A and B are shown apart, each in its own frame.
Chain A
Amino acid sequence: MNLDWSIVWSSRWLLLEGAALTVLLTALTMLISVPGGILLALMRGSRFKPVSLFATGFVELFRNLPLLLLVYWAFYVMPVLTGLALSPFVTGLTALCLNVSAYNSETFRSGIASIRKGQGEAGLALGMSRAQVFGEIILPQAWRRVLPVLASTWVSLFKDTSLVSVIAVGELAHTAMQIRSQSFRVLEMLTAMAAIYWLMGYPQAKLVDWIHRKYGVRE
C-alpha cells in the first residue's frame, strides 16, 4: 500500500484548530453541566411537586437517549421549536449539555444523599438557612465525593464530543474527516486522528486515576 504521511503534517494547523475546538467543547459543556447538574439535583429534591417532576422527567429523558440521536434532534428540531438559527457549534454544545447535565444531576444527587442527615441538622441548629446549609456544609462535602465521578465523565465527554462532527462542528473528528474526504488519505487521517485523541485523552485518564486514588475512598 502506498502511504503518504505528509498529508498529516501539511494539515497540522487545521488539526490543531480542530483539537482546540474539541477541548473547548469539552470544557464549555462541563462548565455549564456542573452547575446544571447541581440545579437539577436540587430541583429533584424540591418539596414543590411540579419542580421535582420536571427535573425527574428532564433527567430520565436526556440520560436515556443516545447522544447521537440527541445531536441530530438538536440540529433538526431545536430551530423549529425555538425559531432560532443556531450555529452548529452552539447546537452541538446544547446537545452535549442536555446529556451531561442529566448525568451530572444523578452524580450530585447520590453525592448529596451520601452526606449524613445530621450534618444538615447541625447547620440548621446553628440558625443557618437551607441555602446556607447547602452551600456551607452539604455541597463542599458532596463535592469531594463526586469529584472522581465528574472526572470520569469528563474523559468520556472528551471522546464523545466527536459525535457532534455529524452536524459539521469543526472539532477534531470533523476536521480530520474533511481532510480525509478531500485528500482521499483515509488510513493516514484516521490514524492521525486516533493518535491525537489518544495523546490528549491518555494523560487525562491518568489524571482521573490519580483523582480516584486521592479522593475515591474516604471515610
Chain B
Amino acid sequence: MTAQPRKNADRAPMLVYKDVRKRYGSFTALDGVSLHVNPGEVVCLIGPSGSGKSTLLRCTNGLETLDGGEVLFEGKPLPKSDVEMRGVRQRMGMVFQNFELFPHKTALENVATGLITVKKMPADEANRRAMALMAKVGLSDKTANYPSNLSGGQQQRVAIARALAMEPHVMLFDEPTSALDPETVGEVLNVMRQLALEGMTMIVVTHEMSFARRVASWVVVFEKGKLLEEGPPTQIFDAPLKERTRDFLSHLGWDG
C-alpha cells in the first residue's frame, strides 16, 4: 500500500537476515525470520515479550549461534571462527537492558577499555577518545564515577559511549530504557535520537512507542519468533495491515 521508498534502499544493506532460525531445546525462539537493514536506518523491533527480539539481536553479533538460515553483515555471512567474529563484533555496538557496565572500572575506564584491550590503543589516546565520548553523552563531569555512583540513565549513557568508542557501523539496542526510572528514560532516548540524526545505523528493541513512531525509519513487529508485519512507522502505528499488530499496540495503550 504505502509506496514511499525505504530509506537508503538504493544502497547495499548493512544487515540481511535470511530465514533465521534459533531453538532453545525444543523451544523455537526464531522461526524463520527474514529482514534487512539499510545503512543509516533506524529499525525498531517491537512485539510481545518472549517473541524473539533479543534473540535476533544476539544472533546478530554472535552471542547466540544460529540453528538455520544466515545473517549477512556488510555483504558477508557472519564468520564461524572466533577470531573473525571478534572483528565483526568490533563493528557492532551493543547496548543491554541492564547496562552491564563493568562495576570495577570508572565510567571513563568503561568507555576506554575496549580501545585499550581490543584495539591496543595507547592509554592516553584511548582516554582522550573516551573523554570526548563522555562529553557527547553529556557526562563530562562523571568520568571518575564508578557505575554504582551513577543513576540508571547515566549508566546507560556511559554504556552507549562504551559501545560508540569502538566506532561501530551499527548499534544494537536491547530495550535500553526498560530498566530505567521513568524520569531518566528521556535522557537516554535523547542520546539515541541524536545518534540517529547523525546517520548511525541502529536496531532498537523497544517498548517506547512514541520513540519508535518519531525516530524509526522502519518498524518490525515480532510475534512468536516470526515477523508479523514490517513497514514505515506511519503504516505500523496509523494503519497496520495486521489485526494483531493493532491488538498489540492497543494493549500497550497506543491508540494511533
| Interfacial residues, chain B to chain A (CB-CB below 8 A) | 61, 63, 82, 86-87, 89-90, 92-94, 96, 98, 100-104, 113-114, 117-118, 162-163, 166
Contact A136 B113 (CB under 8 A): yes
Q: Are A118 and B103 in contact (CB under 8 A)?
A: no
Interface centre among B96, B100, B102, B166 (most CB of A within 10 A): B100
Residues of A within 8 A of B92 (CB): 125
Of residues 106 through 140 on chain A, the ones whose CB sits less than 8 Å from some CB of chain B are 116, 118-119, 121-130, 132, 136-137, 140
Contact of B86 among A118, A129, A137 (CB under 8 A): A129
Chain A residues in 8 Å Cβ range of B90: 126-127
- Cβ–Cβ contact B82 & A129, under 8 A: yes
Contact B114 A141 (CB under 8 A): no
Residue from the list B61, B86, B101, B103 in contact with A128, Cβ < 8 A:
B86
C-alpha spacing A118/B96, complex, angstroms: 8
- The answer to whether residues A125 and B89 also contact, given A118-B96, A132-B118, A136-B113 and a CB cut-off of 8 A, is yes
A128 touches B104 (CB 8 A): no
Pair A126/B103 contact, Cβ less than 8 Å: no
Whether the pair A140, B104 counts as a contact (CB closer than 8 A) is yes
Nearest A residue to B97 via CB reads A118
Can you list 17 A-B pairs, Cβ within 8 angstroms, ordered by A? Answer: A116-B98, A119-B100, A119-B102, A122-B94, A122-B96, A122-B100, A122-B102, A125-B94, A126-B90, A126-B118, A127-B86, A127-B118, A127-B166, A132-B117, A132-B118, A136-B117, A140-B104
Residues of chain A within 8 A (CB-CB) of B94 are 122, 125
The listed residue (B82, B87, B113) touching A126 by CB distance below 8 A is: B113
Chain B nearest CB, measured from A136 CB (Å): 6
Docked complex Cα distance between A119 and B162 (Å): 13
Q: Which residue of B lies closest to A141 (CB)?
A: B104
In the complex, A127 Cα to B114 Cα: how many Å?
8
- Whether B63 contacts A128 by the Cβ 8 Å rule is no
> A180 in the interface, Cβ–Cβ < 8 Å?
no
How close is B78's CB to chain A, nearest CB, in angstroms?
A: 14
Residues in chain B near residue A118, CB distance under 8 A:
96, 98, 100
| B102 A137 Cβ-Cβ under 8 A | yes
- CB pair B96–A128 under 8 Å, yes or no, is no
Within 8 A of B (CB), among A3-53: none
Q: Which residues of B contact A121 (CB under 8 A)?
A: 63, 96, 100
Q: Please determine whether A144 and B104 come into contact, CB atoms closer than 8 angstroms.
A: yes
Complex Cα spacing A136 to B113, Å: 9
- Cα of A15 to Cα of B163 in the assembled complex, Å: 60
With A121-B63, A136-B117 as known contacts, state yes or no: A126 contacts B166, CB within 8 Å: yes
A93 to B61, CA, bound (A): 47
Select from chain A the residue with minimum beta-carbon distance to B58.
A121
Chain B residue nearest to A144 (CB atoms) is: B104
Cβ of B104 and Cβ of A124 under 8 Å apart? Answer: no
B63 touches A124 (CB 8 A): yes
* Shortest Cβ distance from residue A205 to the other chain B in the assembled complex, whole angstroms: 28
- For A125, the chain B residues whose CB sits under 8 A away are 61, 63, 89, 92-94, 163
Is the beta-carbon distance between A141 and B103 smaller than 8 angstroms? Answer: yes
Residues of A within 8 A of B162 (CB): 126
> Once the chains bind, are B100 and A128 in contact (CB under 8 Å)?
no
Residues on A with beta carbons closer than 8 Å to the beta carbon of B93:
125
Q: How far is the CA of A121 from the CA of B57 in the complex (A)?
A: 13
Nearest opposing residue in chain A for B118, CB measure: A127
Tell me whether B114 and A128 are in contact (CB under 8 A).
yes
Residues from chain A with Cβ under 8 Å of B104 in the complex: 140-141, 144
B117 close to A124 (CB less than 8 A): no
A140 CA / B146 CA spacing, docked (Å): 15
CB distance from A174 to the nearest CB of B (A): 43
